[in-house]
Amino acid sequence: MHTFDKYLIPPLAAAAATVALAGSGWARDSVVNVSLWDKGAEAGMATGLGMGMTGANMSMAPMAIRLSTHSVAAGKVTFKVTNEAKDTIHEMVVAPIRSDAKPLPYIAAENEIDEKKVGDLGEVSELDPGQSGSLTLDLKPGKYVLFCNVPGHYMSGMWAELTVN
């Protein structure tokens, strides 16, 4: 082996391994496309459609958060959020789910989730109809809830679960 080869081969092997890992998905960040949706202002507001509420018929929800996927790998996750409503402002907040059995901390007088108590990790603030925004978080394995915290929207069905593996 030439002296040149002795010094060149290890860095080339490391570079090839990095490219192989990146191509296999190990180094890729996850992207979740998020649609904030409602049936329009004339549909009215529903109640009792919060996460884990017994007897909630989500097919009746006048509002929803739709995700392109409900499961991603741990690490950097980018949420690309679009408000597809015709006339309603929406937002998206991300928080960990600490217990499937417990409801989210809700402030009835304000008709919204207590973002401090739920452990708000970040949000895409109020988006006018047709607007888009994004949020990138470094997420650990676990379950997360994405919800709209405009007053009344969460209880009208604007939430979705995301599992991070």
List, for residues 34-81, the tens digit of each pLDDT value.
Answer: 999 988 766 666 676 777 666 666 777 889 999 999 999 999 999 999
Tokens describing residue 79: 């949420």
Interatomic CA distance for residues 96 and 136, integer angstroms: 15
pTM of the model: 0.79
Task: Tell me which fold the domain 28-164 belongs to.
Answer: Immunoglobulin-like (2.60.40)
Tell me what pLDDT residue 62 has: 86
Any idea what the Cα angle at residue 75 is, between residues 29 and 67, rounded to 5°? 65
Residue 19 has a pLDDT of 41
Which residues of the chain fall below pLDDT 50? 4, 6-25, 27
pLDDT at 53: 64
C-alpha closest to that of 34 among 71, 81, 78, 70: 81
